[in-house]
Amino acid sequence: MGLHARWFIHYKCLSMPSSIDSITKSLGAKADFYLNHKCTTIAKERLHLPGGDFVDRIFGPTNRNNRVLNNLDWMLNTGRLAGTGYLSILPVDQGIEHSGGASFAKNPDYFDSENIVKLAIEGGCNAVASTFGVLASVSRKYAHKIPFLVKINHNQILTYPNTFDQTMYGTVKEAYEMGAAAVGATIYFGSPECNRQIVEVSNAFAEAHSYGMVTVLWCYLRNPAFKTKDKDFHVSADLTGQANHIGVTIQADIIKQKLPENNGGYTALQMGDSSYGKIDKRVYTELTTDHPIDLTRYQVANCYMGRQGLINSGGASGAHDFDEAVTTAVINKRAGGMGLISGRKAFQRPLAEGAKLLNAVQDVYLCQEVTVA
């Protein structure tokens, strides 16, 4: 019996359909708002939705080689969500992006790289995403047990004053040689360095595909003009949707995006005599509403109507982590997304508690009563 089949069977026994009761409790007074919303903007019938046949149905006809399909299949058949078409990924690259102290002071155990991989396995994740250093330090022990997603570029914040740019930290070949199933990268769309990053990441993704690795793009926005005194349009549906659209254009297999919190970034930046981008008012009048599920549906639509899966990030750790993580998962699933990539909420607490939080997210995707809106 192959490795993929062993993991599938092991977790299939643990992954029975989950009860709606705990999910409803986490949603609280907004349970009806989230669980009974019907999307009337872009109908679910127009989407390519996750499912057990996702690799064959969606990626089989593409230009991806058989080794890419095999690694994507491995990711989708690992952990508690095996066979569902959904993903639960643990990302821990904050030691570089936010500093080790800011990330791990709350739980110093995670200065030890092995504990990051242990949490992903204990938490039933489909994959673990981290830096070259973290994953290389334990690759011979774990790279065959859980899919590795190597983050190949990062922003470092030691430069004074802080600057914001993504720099390559290693090569695609290094990721391949440590046994990685996938590589991930960030592009800061809207930043002055954006065009250079697009070229770098496009080339890296092409090389990764040639080696048979899956590609995951963090499609983040970065420009001071996107944040006004009233709103932060770094999380607007229209701007993040366009970032996603560029991401799938450079052949990212999976898009990671922040959950949208507002809309109208394009129109806000066209105030006065300024001109920014191009937009159609129907984006706001027909393709979106102010409901979080509809805003996220627009993100999914920009991923070729779901041909490339949308995974939303879990956000910062806080006082209501469990409820917020469940809410984010409900929004993503009901919008037609492919899953969640949640880190700080999980690793900034003891391992057993972090695994429990990851399981709470996964339970949303296992719950048959949480349907696509």
Active site residues: 256
Type of residue numbered 63: N
Q: Which two tokens stand for residue 73?
A: 């299949």
Half-sphere exposure of 38 (CA within 13 A, CB side): 1
Selection from 308, 307, 360, 310 nearest residue 334 by Cα: 310
Phi then psi dihedrals of residue 4, to 5 deg: -60, -40
What's the 3-state SS for the chain? CCHHHHHHHHHHCCCCCCCHHHHHHHHHHHHHHHHCCCCCCCCHHHCCCCCCCHHHHHHCCCCCCHHHHHHHHHHHCCCCCCCCCCEEEEEECHHHHHHHHHHHCCCHHHHCHHHHHHHHHHCCCCEEEECHHHHHCCHHHHCCCCCEEEECEECCCCCCCCCCCCEECCCHHHHHHCCCCEEEEEEEECCCCHHHHHHHHHHHHHHHHHHCCEEEEEEEECCHHHECCCCEHHHEHHHHHHHHHHHHHCCCCEEEECCCCECCHHHHCCCCCCCCCCCCCHHHHCCCCCCHHHHHHHHHHCCHHHCCEEEEECCCCCCCHHHHHHHHHHHHHHHCCCEEECCHHHHCCCHHHHHHHHHHHHHHHHCCCCCCC
> Which value, to the nearest 10 degrees, does the dihedral of the CA atoms of residues 16, 21, 22, 25 take?
160
